[in-house]
Structure 1
Amino acid sequence: MKITRQKHAKKYISFYKYNFKFRPPFQILIDGTFCQAALKNKIQIKEQMPKYLMGEVQLCTTNCVLKELESLGKELYGAKIILQRFQVRNCAHIKSPVGASQCLLSMIDGNNPHHYFVATQDQDLTASVKRIPGIPLIFIIQNTMVLDKPSPSSAAHVQAVQTGQLVTVQQKESIQTLKEEQGLVNSTERKGRKRKRKGGPNPLSCLKKKKKTQGPQQQKPAGEKKKRKRHRKRTGEGGLQVETIAQIEKA
């Protein structure tokens, strides 16, 4: 039974990852009813939730949920202690708290932009969550946590996208980018390239070239005679050669 439950969870998580861009760490919105059920069934939420969802999680709640538990008295004191250990996300009801169900619904309003899971035992909240596509629902049954299968609204949304009846947010952004590239839409911001300023001359090239210093020439000793050079001349008649030796002496 445990292996089958794990397989179903893996299948449902893949559905939300592929179609609704869910990524770890998964953000789990938890209310007081879920904590009370976990306390009653001796379930360690912080330890078992990452194992069940096969990924890192962030357990969180809101101020409205904590305020509601405080107002219900000592019977839910244990659930309140558990819930206080989780992250508290800011909601729009800080000055005037509302009911836990209403607050959690406001957190996932607008097609769940922050990709929240919802963990609850509240039947009314569960029914409201199932009407919104793309929201995974977790509840406790028979001493175990269970990730509910995708709701009919989520399945219908995915089918509509695949058949081309709906356009996702990513597709809208791609279309807008293509329109701007084709000049069909005046882009508000123009991204211009920075002009390169003409820099000055290279300081190394401005250095004066050093003249090569010539070494001292070797002076020939005085009185040394130059070597004799022989010049051969040809006479015109008979092809006879006459050698003349000219001695050139240094003055």
Structure 2
Amino acid sequence: MIKPSDPRFLFLSHNTDLGPPFRILVDTNFINFSIQNKIELVQGMMDCLMAKCIPTITDCVLAELEKLGPKYRLALRIAKDPRFERLHCDHSGSYADDCLVQRVSVHKCYIVATCDRDLRRRIRKVPGVPLMYVVKHRYQIERLPDAGASFH
């Protein structure tokens, strides 16, 4: 039995736009870390959140994977999985991290999946947006600070 104080459920009280099915905005390195840790992406997300999840990827993240070349061919194939929702970007040549931060600042209906420490630090400054990352061969959801808290 999961307790209501479990971090997986605490973020719901801070952001009422979030609810099953969860839309998870995936970053380039999250896919790579999932491959390295042999985690099946969609199933791992559902196991972590215990609910239906829709992995979501932006054009910028796909472009970044394409630029990384043949070494990241498997990551690109996973990103093009039909279970992934594709978000079109209306800007050109943007850095994928900037694109993700801008998108969650405007639409707080996403959980951001990233293993990039710098991006996680930037996302934490956006109140109401939970983070998912890889820890010990499984996904972990980070509890949100109070949505009204000030960030320095």
User: Match of 2:111?
Assistant: 117
Aligned match of 2:77: 81
1:35 to 31, 34, 52: 31
Aligned counterpart for 1:15 among listed residues 10, 26, 31: 10
Aligned partners of 2:3 and 2:96: how far apart in 1? 31
* Per-residue Cα deviation, 1:67-105 (whole angstroms, up to 9, x for no partner): 011111112111111111111112232xx1311101111
Q: Which has the higher contact order (CA 8 A, sep 6+)?
A: 2
Q: Report the alpha carbon displacement of residue 125 of structure 1 after superposing the two structures with TM.
A: 0.6
- Take 2:90 and 2:6, find their aligned partners in 1: how far apart are those partners? 34
Specify whether residues 156 and 98 from structure 1 end up closer, same or farther in structure 2 by C-alpha distance, changes over 3 A only: closer
Shift of 1:156: 5.7
2:146 to 130, 135, 155: 155
Note the C-alpha offset of 1:56: 1.2
Q: Which amino acid aligns with 1:123?
A: R
TM-score (ref. length: structure 1): 0.54
State the match for 1:135 in structure 2.
129
Asked if 1 retains the 8 angstrom alpha-carbon contact of 2:128 and 2:147, the reply is no
Q: Matched residues in 2 for 1:92 and 1:105: separation?
A: 15
Name the SS for the 2:112 alignment partner: strand
Aligned counterpart for 1:97 among listed residues 93, 99, 113: 93
- Alignment CA distance shift 1:12-1:92 (3 Å): farther
Question: 1-side partners of 2:93 and 2:86: how far apart?
Answer: 14
Which structure has the bigger radius of gyration?
1
Read off the aligned partner of 1:38 and give its amino acid letter.
Answer: S
2:46 match: 50
| 1:157 maps to amino acid | G
**What SS class does the counterpart of residue 38 from structure 2 fall into?**
coil
SS in 2 for 1:155: coil
Name the amino acid aligned to 2:7. Y
What percent identity do the matched residue pairs reach?
30
Query: What secondary structure sits across from 1:58 in the alignment?
Result: strand
Displacement after TM superposition at 1:26 (Å)? 0.6
Equivalent residue, structure 1, for 2:67? 71
Aligned residue-pair number: 147
> Which ranges of structure 2 fall in alignment gaps of 5 or more residues?
none
C-alpha deviation, 1:14, in angstroms: 2.9
CA distance in 1, matches of 2:89, 2:102: 8
What is the Cα-based RMSD across aligned positions, in Å?
A: 2.2
Deviations 1:113-135 (A, max 9, x none): 34100001111111100111111
